[in-house]
């Protein structure tokens, strides 16, 4: 039995697998068992920000493996401490809770918001989230996710979640009341096709917070850690969150998530209120620390901005001569290309041509390349992308 047949025989069929079997992955490339090389333009869905098998991350993992792997959260962890300090130094936060995934970071944030609400009043438990948002697949995360296609089969979901249209100030004003304990926001909605929240909407949230004392919870699972060109996407805006959820690239390829909280909220959750057996695993945190060191260097950040400009410029040039591109949007290295037609067809053509593209929400190609992508690799991507668009 080959690996693809074994997979369909033994593994629950919840994922749409690609028809290739990977032998190895390095930098911006994935190699299949036949030795064919693919330029990876979605980097493990925004996980492999510093490229596949980054040597600094591997060395940090190996060094930690020699010390210990799992101990349990009864023990303090040096790698956890160091990574928490870095996240605090670069953000609004004053404390960090580690998880294994994005949905768990959201779940922790939701629990914190509920408990915060209770400290004010028993009926302050309602939450606002946005249509077309994506916050994960646990029942809490799914209840926040504003996409019926993911929710309907699992109803009834958590009570008290109100979904409103993004960037709709009237809907926002109507939905918020003294019962609202939190609003969850992706500054750039990723899974639904790269939609950027606008400043007027975000400013209004900041203004309403004065009156209604709800928490602003930034879901930066996808946008966080330089993906949008700044360490955190909220740093492009006037928003200073109270809570921020991270995951994806945080562990440099190993499972790791985090909830960052502001000083005012440090003591909402007490010992025993929340926990995780694996959350903040020392090896994942060692990988995270090495990743963070790369992402936070000034040279890396400057290069990232010019590479993002190059990618946007190249795509906009292609758009001039390609009527099938309806829109190009996003920030930094989080880019959506909306296609008039079948984006899956383009994805399949790309695969044949040695290019890995991710399609989300049917007609949007979502680019999330490794942030270490070179200018040469960007040129290669643009060349192949134009070719597959032009194919008859």
Residues making contact with ligand PLP (CB under 6 A): 101-103, 106, 134-136, 186, 190-191, 219, 221-222, 247
Q: Quick one: 226 or 318, whose CB is closer to ligand PLP?
A: 226
> In this structure, what token pair is assigned to residue 223?
């946008």
| In the complex, least distance from residue 221 CB atom to ligand PLP, rounded to whole angstroms | 4
Q: Can you tell me the distance from the alpha carbon of 135 to that of 160, in angstroms, rounded to the nearest whole number?
A: 16
Q: Can you tell me the distance from the alpha carbon of 362 to that of 165, in angstroms, rounded to the nearest whole number?
A: 20
State the residue number with the nearest CB to ligand PLP.
102
| In the complex, least distance from residue 47 CB atom to ligand PLP, rounded to whole angstroms | 9
List the one residue out of 335, 331, 323 whose CA is nearest residue 368.
335
Q: Quick one: 188 or 388, whose CB is closer to ligand PLP?
A: 188
Q: Can you tell me the distance from the alpha carbon of 376 to that of 65, in angstroms, rounded to the nearest whole number?
A: 35
Q: Quick one: 102 or 117, whose CB is closer to ligand PLP?
A: 102
Peptide bond preceding 364: is omega within 30 degrees of 0, i.e. cis? no
Any residues with CB less than 8 A from the CB of 37 and at least 6 apart, and which? 29, 30, 31, 354
Q: Quick one: 144 or 325, whose CB is closer to ligand PLP?
A: 144
Q: Is 109 helix (H, G, I), strand (E, B) or coil?
A: helix
| In the complex, least distance from residue 112 CB atom to ligand PLP, rounded to whole angstroms | 16
Burial 181-217 (b: 16+ CB within 10 A, else e): bbbbbbbbbbbbbbbbbeeebbebbeebbeeeebbbb
Tell me if 208 sits within 8 A of 171, measured CB to CB: no
Q: Quick one: 134 or 292, whose CB is closer to ligand PLP?
A: 134
Q: Can you tell me the distance from the alpha carbon of 261 to that of 92, in angstroms, rounded to the nearest whole number?
A: 8
Q: What is the CA radius of gyration of the chain?
A: 21
| In the complex, least distance from residue 225 CB atom to ligand PLP, rounded to whole angstroms | 13
Q: Can you tell me the distance from the alpha carbon of 391 to that of 224, in angstroms, rounded to the nearest whole number?
A: 36
Q: Quick one: 222 or 237, whose CB is closer to ligand PLP?
A: 222
| In the complex, least distance from residue 250 CB atom to ligand PLP, rounded to whole angstroms | 10
Q: Quick one: 27 or 146, whose CB is closer to ligand PLP?
A: 146
| In the complex, least distance from residue 145 CB atom to ligand PLP, rounded to whole angstroms | 8
| In the complex, least distance from residue 191 CB atom to ligand PLP, rounded to whole angstroms | 5
């Amino acid at each position: 039995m080959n690996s693809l047949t074994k997979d369909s025989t033994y593994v629950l069929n919840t994922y749409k697998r690609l028809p290739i079997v990977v032998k190895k992955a390095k930098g911006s490339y994935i190699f299949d068992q036949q030795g064919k090389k693919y330029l990876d333009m979605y980097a493990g869905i925004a996980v492999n920000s510093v490229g596949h098998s980054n040597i600094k991350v591997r060395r940090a993992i190996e060094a930690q493996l020699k010390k210990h792997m799992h101990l349990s959260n009864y023990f303090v962890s040096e790698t956890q401490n160091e990574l928490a300090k870095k996240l605090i130094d670069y953000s609004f936060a004053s404390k960090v809770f580690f998880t294994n995934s994005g949905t768990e970071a959201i779940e922790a944030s939701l629990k914190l918001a509920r408990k915060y609400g209770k400290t004010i009043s028993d009926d302050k438990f309602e939450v606002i989230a946005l249509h077309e948002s994506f916050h994960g697949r646990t029942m809490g995360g799914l209840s926040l996710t504003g996409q019926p296609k993911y929710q309907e089969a699992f109803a009834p979901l958590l009570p008290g979640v109100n979904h409103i249209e993004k960037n709709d100030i009237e809907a926002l004003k109507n939905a918020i009341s003294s019962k609202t304990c939190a609003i969850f926001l992706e500054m750039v909605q990723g899974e639904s096709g790269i939609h950027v929240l606008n400043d007027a909407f975000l400013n209004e949230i900041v203004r309403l917070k004065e009156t209604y004392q709800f928490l602003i919870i930034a879901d930066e699972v996808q946008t966080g850690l330089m993906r949008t060109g700044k360490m955190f996407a909220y740093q492009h805006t006037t928003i200073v969150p109270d809570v921020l959820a991270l995951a994806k690239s945080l562990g440099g390829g190993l499972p790791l998530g985090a909830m960052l909280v502001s000083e005012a909220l440090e003591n909402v959750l007490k010992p025993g209120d929340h926990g995780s057996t694996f959350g903040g695993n020392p090896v994942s945190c060692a990988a995270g620390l090495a990743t963070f060191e790369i992402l936070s260097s000034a040279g890396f950040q400057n290069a990232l901005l010019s590479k993002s400009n190059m990618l946007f410029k190249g795509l906009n040039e292609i758009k001039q001569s390609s009527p099938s591109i309806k829109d190009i949007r996003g920030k930094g290295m989080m880019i959506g290309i909306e296609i008039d037609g079948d984006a899956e067809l383009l994805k399949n053509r790309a695969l044949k041509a040695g290019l890995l593209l991710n399609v989300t929400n049917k007609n949007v190609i979502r680019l999330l390349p490794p942030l270490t992508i070179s200018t040469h690799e960007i040129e290669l991507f643009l060349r192949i992308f134009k070719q597959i668009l032009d194919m008859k």
